């Protein structure tokens, strides 16, 4: 909701199953990038535009994230005392795989130049896709229609896919499409306010190797301090009268350019499949695994991936939906929040849910006690297996909690961290990081409620 004069009005129109943006406004772009995010608990993508963004500074944060994939940096204190955490942990902004640039003759499509004749962006809560439909008039007067659909797979946590249709409306001529993996990424720096960004400075993902051909490419990267490895692969599938294909690569990017001699009214269809795999997933040959995943995704096709998404969410909503009569805004809000909880929560027993989910970098992607008190009850009643996975995460980091207790002079037991990703306390605010012993009680309370609700007493063994 927002205030207009003395009246409070909804930010988005009331739709039971959709969040809709009907007009692009630069001043609202940051907010909308967050609202229109997609994720599956492992992989998250902010609602950035595929073509990138050339708007004013401070009105966009490009972001793609993997839950639990982080780097560290030494924390600096004016004076250090016993028990102060030594290192920060920051969930990383990783390779941007959704990048697709469009050139009409030699004019680059951008939302902030030319003229938008039509525009609509929709987050489909029922089917789990983000859609954008627009008509753009270039500065030279050429018009194109774009229809773009994006999904982050809820059935295969490593996959994302895009369907991109371009139709020239009032001209016949050259259209060029450039699809890339961009590894030249950084985290949002906000050293004095971790609620906004991170301590990390500059680029912390180093490219180890790269490969590109006309059908796709791969970037293999390593974190600077934790030495975690990441492979990101893409496959490009083109349907249309292409005349030329060229590949491009530099130190941090691989891409392929497809040129078309397009006729007015005839559509070009392009599909992009992405896979992200890290060494924390237990894989050894990450590049081979990522390439296998995108090749299989291309084989089954976008329509099948979209159908799987619909089927997964149909089961989720059958169990989780709360129906409200007489208030479409409340109905929309309940479904929006449930959808984003599903997108944000780690489901593998070794990750949790960050304060901002996978929509952005606030609180550096840290996990808090909020999980057990505020988030677990939702899943306990709607998806108990996810609640169990969240509790398994706490078991997964039990050794670090025991070590923290010893560090602070406790000879028995465990002391769970206030803020963490990997299990160690990483908050530089020492009073809060050491005083919040209630976190142990929060976890114990959540375990008792899980066992009480499910009857799963074996979990206590």
Per-residue pLDDT tens for 336-367? 999 999 999 999 999 999 999 999 999 999 99
- Cα 301 from chain centre: 22
Q: What's 326-460's CATH class? A: mainly alpha
C-alpha 94/C-alpha 89 separation (Å) is 15
Check pLDDT > 80 for residue 4.
no
Q: What pLDDT score was predicted for residue 195?
A: 67
Q: Report the DSSP beta bridge partners of residue 248.
A: 255
C-alpha 214/C-alpha 245 separation (Å) is 7
User: What's the chain's average pLDDT?
Assistant: 95
Tell me phi and psi for residue 380, to 5 degrees.
Answer: -60, -40
What digits encode the pLDDT tens for the residues 399-421? 999 999 999 999 999 999 999 99
What digits encode the pLDDT tens for the residues 167-226? 999 999 999 999 999 999 999 877 666 666 667 878 899 999 999 999 999 999 999 999
What lies within 8 Å, CB to CB, of 55 at 6+ separation is 26, 29, 111, 112
Q: What pLDDT score was predicted for residue 239?
A: 86
Using alpha carbons only, what angle is made at residue 343 by residues 341 and 53, rounded to the nearest 5 degrees? 120
Distances (CA, A) of 328 to 21, 209, 335, 336, 411: 17, 50, 11, 12, 55
Residue spans per domain, the chain: 11-312, 326-460
Domains 11-312 and 326-460 in one fold: no
Of 376, 309, 310, the closest CA to residue 341 belongs to: 376
Check pLDDT > 90 for residue 386.
yes
Q: What pLDDT score was predicted for residue 264?
A: 97
Check pLDDT > 70 for residue 14.
yes
Of 123, 129, 132, the closest CA to residue 152 belongs to: 129
- Cα 219 from chain centre: 18
11-312 has which fold?
Answer: Beta-galactosidase; Chain A, domain 5 (2.70.98)
> 436: pLDDT confidence band, cut at 50, 70 and 90?
confident
């Amino acid at each position: 909701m927002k205030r207009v004069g003395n009246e409070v009005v909804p930010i988005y129109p009331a739709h039971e199953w959709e969040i809709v943006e009907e007009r692009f406004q630069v001043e609202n772009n940051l907010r909308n990038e967050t609202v229109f995010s997609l994720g599956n608990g492992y992989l998250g993508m902010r609602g950035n535009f595929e073509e990138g963004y050339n708007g004013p500074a401070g009105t966009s944060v490009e972001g793609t994230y993997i839950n639990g994939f982080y780097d560290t940096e030494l924390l600096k204190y004016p004076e250090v005392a016993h028990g102060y955490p030594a290192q920060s942990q920051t969930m990383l902004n990783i390779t941007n795989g959704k990048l697709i640039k469009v050139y009409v003759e030699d004019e680059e499509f951008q939302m902030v130049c030319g003229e938008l004749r039509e525009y609509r962006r929709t987050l489909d809560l029922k089917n789990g896709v983000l859609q954008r439909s627009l008509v753009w008039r270039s500065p030279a007067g050429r018009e194109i229609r774009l229809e773009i659909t994006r999904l982050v797979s809820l059935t295969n946590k490593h996959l994302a896919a895009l369907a991109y249709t371009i139709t020239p409306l009032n001209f016949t001529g050259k259209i060029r499409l450039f699809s890339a993996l961009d590894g030249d990424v950084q985290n949002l720096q906000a050293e004095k306010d971790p609620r906004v960004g991170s301590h990390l400075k500059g680029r912390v993902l180093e490219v180890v190797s790269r490969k590109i051909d006309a059908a796709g490419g791969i970037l293999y990267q390593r974190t600077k301090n934790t030495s975690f490895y990441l492979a990101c692969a893409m496959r490009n599938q083109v349907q249309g009268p292409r005349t030329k294909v060229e590949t491009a690569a530099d130190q941090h990017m691989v891409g392929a350019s497809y040129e078309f001699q397009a006729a007015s009214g005839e559509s070009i269809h392009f599909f992009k499949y992405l896979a992200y795999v890290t060494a924390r997933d237990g894989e050894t040959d990450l590049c081979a695994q990522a390439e296998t995943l995108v090749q299989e995704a291309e084989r089954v096709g976008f329509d099948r991936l979209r159908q799987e998404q619909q089927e997964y969410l149909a089961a989720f909503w059958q169990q989780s939906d709360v129906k409200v009569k007489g208030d479409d805004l409340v109905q929309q809000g309940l479904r929006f929040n449930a959808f984003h909880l599903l997108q944000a929560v780690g489901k593998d027993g070794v990750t949790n849910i960050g304060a901002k989910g996978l929509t952005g970098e606030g609180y550096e992607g840290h996990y808090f006690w909020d999980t057990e008190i505020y988030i677990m009850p939702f899943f306990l009643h709607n998806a108990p297996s996810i609640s169990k996975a969240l509790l398994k995460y706490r078991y997964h980091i039990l050794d670090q909690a025991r070590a923290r207790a010893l560090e602070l002079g406790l000879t028995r037991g465990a002391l769970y961290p206030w803020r963490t990703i990997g299990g160690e306390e990483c908050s530089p605010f020492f009073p809060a990081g050491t005083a919040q012993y209630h976190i142990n009680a929060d976890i114990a309370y959540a375990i008792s409620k899980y066992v009480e609700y499910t009857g799963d007493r074996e979990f206590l063994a």
